[in-house]
Amino acid sequence: MVKPKIGIVFGGCSEEHPVSVKSAQEVAKHLDPDKYEPLWIGITTSGAWKLCDGPGADWESHGNRPVVLSPDRSVHGLLVLEPERYDMIRLDAVLPVLHGKLGEDGAIQGLLELSGIPYVGCDVPSSALCMDKSLAYIVASNAGIATPKHWVLTADEKIDPDSLAYPVFVKPARSGSSFGVSKVSGPEELPGAIEAARQYDAKVLIEEAVVGSEVGCAILGERFGLVAGEVDRVALSRGFFRIHQESNPESGSENSTFIVPADIPEEARSLVQETAKTIYRALGCTGLARVDTFLTDDGTVVLNEVNTLPGMTSYSRYPRMMAAAGLPFGDVIDRLVTLTLYGRKR
């Protein structure tokens, strides 16, 4: 039996390149080689595409070949650039293992749409929508979901620091993880926080702090409906939750731990899961997403953000929440790829 060829794209040009490589390494451990033929496509930080043996430590420098993903639908896959010629490799599907800009914002999804290749995860509109937190808030709010009070600054737009109720969080509107995010306790800290956020995006979001527990829910889209993973809770010892900022994240965060299942009442757990599903549907998500929220003392679930290609590392939240719900990571990957190959049309 001929195994489907699955292109696995990882790396990328964003600040989350190292995390993407770690996610791909975890995928490599759990993708079933008896069912699928993986083709590993690494994107360097400078944007060069390489066909390599896998996401090992030396993938950028050894055993790779220059490659491009052709937007020509008759190719339906890769052009391998050999000296004085090129070879074509047809792909049956692509599994993007990319995070942040150019991977989670609709860019790679748009290229795959042009190529006609089925791919795992959200489509172009939902990827772009979820990446822009301010736009996601508008759609979620219209669907009846609570969102933080917030302000949006574009380009060089300014805001009166004395007009805000502190503390506030300042963050890039379209960036991943916690890059460029600051907690601001008073007016004097605001200009520096805005400047830090603009290192990652010209569009800046300022949010009033939400008092409550930070909880998340992993969602897996299936042909028969949505599967919610276990809810987790971020337990902080100090400061605020910053993901992928640690010097050695495999050994744990410096100021936070994840409690899975979350130590919250069963009624609250069910509410978080159902709210996460509502948010997922409202934003047009498909395949997978991690919905991050706040649970306030009065039982309100407030949207924080939606990650359409969440981390898949050994320490990431999405696979942990799914595993706690009885779905090992290998099964999650298999379901996502199977759905992409056979279960839906875009």
User: What pLDDT, in 10s, does the model give residues 131-180?
Assistant: 999 999 999 999 999 999 999 999 889 999 999 999 999 999 998 768 89
Q: What percentage of the chain has pLDDT greater than the value 70?
A: 93
- Could you tell me which CATH number the domain at 5-119 has? 3.40.50.20
Bridge partners for 234 per DSSP: 214, 258
The pLDDT score that the predictor gives to residue 344 is 59
pLDDT of 268 higher than 70: yes
Q: Which residue has the higher pLDDT, 116 or 244?
A: 116
Give the model's confidence band at 237: pLDDT under 50 very low, under 70 low, under 90 confident, else very high: low
Annotated catalytic residue within 50, 244, 277, 335 = 244
Would you say domain 150-208 falls under CATH 3.30.9.100?
Answer: no
Q: Which helix (H) or strand (E) is 125 found in, with range?
A: helix 124-131
In this structure, are residues 292 and 307 in contact, taking their beta carbons and an 8 Å threshold? Answer: yes
pLDDT of 74 higher than 60: yes
Task: Determine whether 62 is an active site residue.
Answer: no
Taking the domains of the chain in order of start, what are their residue ranges? Answer: 5-119, 128-145+211-343, 150-208
Annotated catalytic residue within 17, 50, 99, 171 = 99
Tokens coding 80: 């391998």
Give the pTM: 0.92
Tokens coding 247: 């010097």
Q: What is the pLDDT of residues 89-141, one digit of tens each?
A: 999 999 999 999 999 999 999 999 999 999 999 999 999 999 999 999 999 99
Longest CA span, the chain: 68
pLDDT of 242 higher than 60: no
Give the model's confidence band at 248: pLDDT under 50 very low, under 70 low, under 90 confident, else very high: low
Q: What are the C-alpha distances in Å from 237 to residues 116, 234, 259?
A: 47, 10, 13
How many CA atoms lie less than 13 Å away from 291 in the CB half-sphere?
34
The pLDDT score that the predictor gives to residue 179 is 87
The pLDDT score that the predictor gives to residue 269 is 97
Rounded CA gap, 202 and 215, in Å? 28
Structural class in CATH, domain 128-145+211-343: alpha beta
Strand positions, DSSP E, the chain: 5-11, 37-43, 49-52, 65-69, 77-82, 85-90, 93-97, 150-153, 168-172, 182-184, 204-208, 213-222, 225-236, 256-259, 288-295, 301-307
Q: Which residue has the higher pLDDT, 58 or 23?
A: 23
Q: What is the pLDDT of residues 278-319, one digit of tens each?
A: 999 999 999 999 999 999 999 999 999 999 999 999 999 999
The pLDDT score that the predictor gives to residue 247 is 55
The pLDDT score that the predictor gives to residue 226 is 97
The pLDDT score that the predictor gives to residue 84 is 87
Give the model's confidence band at 251: pLDDT under 50 very low, under 70 low, under 90 confident, else very high: low
Annotated catalytic residue within 101, 184, 311, 320 = 311
pLDDT of 346 higher than 60: no
Task: Determine whether 99 is an active site residue.
Answer: yes
Q: What are the C-alpha distances in Å from 181 to residues 160, 168, 198?
A: 19, 11, 10
Give the model's confidence band at 343: pLDDT under 50 very low, under 70 low, under 90 confident, else very high: confident
Annotated catalytic residue within 9, 16, 19, 121 = 19
pLDDT of 32 higher than 90: yes
CA dihedral 169, 175, 180, 185 (to 10 degrees): 0
Give the model's confidence band at 62: pLDDT under 50 very low, under 70 low, under 90 confident, else very high: confident
The pLDDT score that the predictor gives to residue 311 is 95
CA angle 255-276-138, nearest 5°?
A: 95
Annotated catalytic residue within 133, 171, 277, 290 = 290
The mean pLDDT value of the chain amounts to: 92
The closest of 73, 80, 40 to 56, measured between CA atoms, is 40
CA dihedral 229, 231, 232, 233 (to 10 degrees): 160
Task: Determine whether 315 is an active site residue.
Answer: yes
Task: Determine whether 22 is an active site residue.
Answer: yes
pLDDT of 239 higher than 60: no
pLDDT (average), residues 77-97: 95
Task: Determine whether 290 is an active site residue.
Answer: yes
Q: What percentage of the chain has pLDDT greater than the value 90?
A: 84
